[in-house]
Amino acid sequence: MSRTTKLFVAVAAGFVAGVLLAPKSGKETRQELKTRALEAKEFTNKKSRQAKNAARDAGMFKNKLRNHADRLAVEGKRTADRIQKDVKKP
């Protein structure tokens, strides 16, 4: 048998064994899968929102930092101009 055929047979056997040995009925299993899928969806949505908020906050922080640096640069230039004028006075 080829490797692919062996894999397919193993997967099919595992599936059949799982169905036959399952401690719950099909309906219960489907309900549990549905519940777990909804929990996974909620978890993923929550983490996605957190990532978006973190990215937004980082962008806002970057803009605040840039604005602060711009203000400092303007203040520094004004101070340098004042010092230069004071030095030129006799």
pLDDT tens sequence across 14-32: 887 877 777 878 788 788 8
pLDDT at 73: 92
Structural domain spans, the chain? 3-88
* Secondary structure (3-state) at 11: helix
Cα separation of 21 and 29, whole Å?
12
Give me the residues of the chain with pLDDT under 50, please: none
Structure tokens at 2: 């080829």
What global pTM score does this model have?
0.49
Structure tokens at 17: 């064994």
